[in-house]
Amino acid sequence: MIAPPSRWAIRAAHLVSLVVLPSALWRVGLVLGFSMGGVENGAPVHVTGWEAVYVLGLSVVTEGLALLTLGLVRPWGERFPRRLVLALASFGVISLALLWGYAFRDFPNVGQGSEDLQFSDTGDVVLLVCYAPLLLWAPLLAAVTLDYARRTRTLPAPAV
C-alpha cells in the first residue's frame, strides 16, 4: 500500500500550475494583439500567423507540463513505473532549474533583449511580474518529487 501524499505536497503540486499561469497569460495577451509593452524595430510587438500559433502552443504546453505535477500526488500518477516517474520528474527539475536560471541570469534586465526588441518600463515590470513566478517551478517540482519518492519507496518484506 502506498502512503498518501503529504498535505503540503498536494498544495505544492497545485501551486505549480499557478506559477506557470502568469507567463502563459502574458503570451496569450501577445497573441490577442496586445504588445505587452514590447517594441520591435520601433513598432509595437505584434505576433501573427505561425508565430502566434507557436506562442499560443507554448502556453498550452507549459501549462500542460505543469499540470503533470499533479500526477505525483494523485492515484493516476501511481499507475506508472516508479523509476520512470522519478526519472522524468527529476529531469524536469534539472531542466527547469537550468532553463529559468539561464533566462534570469541578467535579472533585473530581463526585458532588455536585443537591439531590435525592447520593452517600455511598464512592459518590463509586467514581463518580470509574469515570468518571475517561473523561478518557483523547479523547487516546487523537486519538493513534490521528493515526497513522491519517499512515499512510494519499496518497503521491506515483513519477517516471518
In a domain, 159, yes or no: no
In a domain, 160, yes or no: no
In a domain, 70, yes or no: yes
In a domain, 15, yes or no: yes
For 43, other C-beta atoms within 10 Å of its C-beta total: 9
CB 140 within 8 A of CB 68: no
Q: Identify the domain containing residue 120 by its residue range.
A: 7-151
pLDDT digits (tens, 9 = 90+) for 33-61: 998 888 888 888 889 999 999 999 999 99
Q: What is the pLDDT of residue 109?
A: 64
Please determine, for residue 85, whether its predicted confidence score (pLDDT) is greater than 80: yes
Q: What is the pLDDT of residue 24?
A: 96
Environment class of residue 127 by beta-carbon count within 10 Å: exposed (0-12), middle (13-18) or buried (19+)? buried
In a domain, 74, yes or no: yes
In a domain, 1, yes or no: no
Q: State the number of CA atoms in the 13 A half-sphere of 82 facing the CB.
A: 10
In a domain, 101, yes or no: yes
In a domain, 41, yes or no: yes
Average pLDDT of the chain, as a whole number: 89
Q: How many domains does the chain have?
A: 1
